[in-house]
Structure 1
Amino acid sequence: MRLFSRRFEQPLHDLFNEHAQNLLGGAELLSQILGQPLRDRARALPRLHDHAARSLELTHRISNRLADSLITPFEAGALHDLAMTVSDAVNAMERTAELASAQGAGTVPDVLLEVAGAIERSSEIIVEALWKLQKVKELENYYVEIRRQRRHADRLTLRATLELYEKGGAAADLMRARDLIESMERIAAHLDQTGRLADLLRVKAP
């Protein structure tokens, strides 16, 4: 199935590829920030802000191209949602890094660094999947892989939550740590939704 008309195929395809690469770059940078000492996190934040700004710009450009493209309303809507969800994931990465920097937390627990690794892997899968948008019938296995990473991230964040409550401490500290866990859960949820949308395009393809 040819998802994009010849007139618009290459520009849209390139924009989605760039969008996915920007997502992966944000995921890699988030892992680096979480693994850094507290004093170094703030210095790295502007780079992640750049990824978020770039994501917003690419989403807007994709929306404009879709408005002029010769594809069905369903395909345009699904592709628009796909672009928006990728942008939501990058924004959630930015927020997570800001939380880790602003809370004054020391070393981020190893279990959350493992979650960041699962987020990176999901982002890599999304890069691979968005390369296939011109041949959506080939997307059959991508959501299965993204879903596996989501389940892995869910198990890790549950473990992080249980460890947090077992450790105890001041209520304010518990709430700050819980906010960070929930922020990482949102990233994983956005990436999972990206996989769902790609799979929906495959299922709906004639």
Structure 2
Amino acid sequence: MRRQRGASPSRARTRSAASPAATVTLTGRGGIVVMFGTGLVCALLSRWFGVPLLAGGGFAIGCVLAAFATRPSDLLTLVVSPPLVFFTATFAAVFVTTLGEGSLLRGLTVGVLTALAATAPWLFFGTLLVLVITLFRGLPANVRELRGKLVGVRLFEKDEAENPVRWDESPSSGQDRRLHHGEVD
């Protein structure tokens, strides 16, 4: 523990002791689980109570929670996942509520299409919320880091593809060497 200048020892201890408990950081996968969990619970409640607003609002709340709780190094993973998470949570909720109601295929098809059509604006709103929040939390640095990695990989591949055949000098330059039975003059 480093002490800050001018801070009393008891004040430094209370700050360091309070900070780990006060901040919760999730990995990118943890943030996705938060979005999926809140989206699924709220979509199920929405279908059972007949309140479509609950499904979209719950998903948006999950997006905000995940965007604030995910550690800065995993923000890029979180930003690209809301559409897939939304679809998966909607599909799971429709599947659970459709079981035992006749044709499962027809119920899933109609249910998923209807649910997606009714809550599509919430998907865009949740995705926009995640994007805006993560922009202020360090997403541009993650994008720059990824771009740097991709440029390095691309340059390496370009060098290999540029001259695929290398003509090496033979080891016996100027000397007569005996040919192996598989080699031809």
- Say which structure, 1 or 2, has more relative contact order (CA 8 Å, 6+ apart): 1
Mark yes or no: TM-score above 0.5. no
TM-score normalised over the length of structure 2: 0.30
- Structure with the higher fraction of residues in helix conformation: 1
TM-score normalised over the length of structure 1: 0.28
